[in-house]
Chains A and B, each alone.
Chain A
Amino acid sequence: DAGVIQSPRHEVTEMGQEVTLRCKPISGHDYLFWYRQTMMRGLELLIYFNNNVPIDDSGMPEDRFSAKMPNASFSTLKIQPSEPRDSAVYFCASSLRTDRGQETQYFGPGTRLLVL
């Protein structure tokens, strides 16, 4: 398997523009997570899905952020409008729940976002 795939790898945009980050989880995984990582705040969970349904979005910072998972192989995280403080690395991760419990999360390479 190719692992978790994220695109784009880098994004530079101007304040006020819409940004869309994309993620393809590992095939067969039933959980998908979106994280944000900054030097100041470390790694923060934004939202996660189980079987394409959002379970917990309490980490989404503002209404400017939205996430969707239209099917088991694709998810998007959208920021509209973007602001300089949204600059961070955004990670997508996926995992599988088995009879033994939750298996480890597999992370994508991240999207490095810079909002000017």
Chain B
Amino acid sequence: KQEVTQIPAALSVPEGENLVLNCSFTDSAIYNLQWFRQDPGKGLTSLLLIQSSQREQTSGRLNASLDKSSGRSTLYIAASQPGDSATYLCAVEETTDSWGKLQFGAGTQVVVTP
């Protein structure tokens, strides 16, 4: 059974520092990996989607890498801002008959202090 782990569970950094969030998964037979952001009391917002054939994706200050063989993904957020404070979740879609089914990690709660 696929297990998705995110470490650390919580992270606090001063504004301007780079953020590094980690995600690991136990079964490398994935179709894609996605990173989401969740603000308190809100739904999830997709940040980046990396197909299994890709090694990274970038959007503005965000960069996500994927290493399928080692079962790891890293989300980098450059020059963090207080507005980046949120919970970040990663999720994998497996290459099974269940297309579209995502397995989520528990998330990393990020606080960026001014």
Contacts and interface: CB of A to CB of B under 8 A. Distances in A.
Contact of B31 (A50, A55, A56, A102): A102
Interface in A9-31: 31
A4 B46 CA distance: 13
A99 to B, nearest CB: 13
What class of interface size applies to chain B in its complex with A? 20 to 34
Interface stretch (B16-24, B66-74, B75-83, B94-102): B94-102
Interface stretch (A41-49, A65-73, A79-87): A41-49
Contacts of B106: 42
Interface of B: 31-32, 34, 36, 42-46, 49, 51, 89, 93, 98-102, 104-107
Contact of B98 (A4, A42, A56, A93): A56
Given A42-B107, A109-B42, A101 B31 contact: yes
Nearest to B6: A42
A108 B42 CA distance: 8
Interface residues of A, number: 25
Interface of A: 4, 31, 33, 42-43, 45, 48, 50, 55-56, 91, 93, 95, 97, 100-110
Given A43-B89, A105-B46, A109-B42, A48 B100 contact: yes
A50 B100 contact: yes
A102 B93 contact: yes
Nearest to B89: A43
Contacts of B101: 45, 48, 56
B7 to A, nearest CB: 14
B97 to A, nearest CB: 9
Given A43-B89, A101-B32, A109 B100 contact: no
Given A55-B98, A101-B31, A106 B46 contact: yes
Contacts of A105: 34, 44, 46, 100, 102
Contacts of B42: 109-110
Given A55-B98, A101-B31, A102-B31, A43 B104 contact: yes
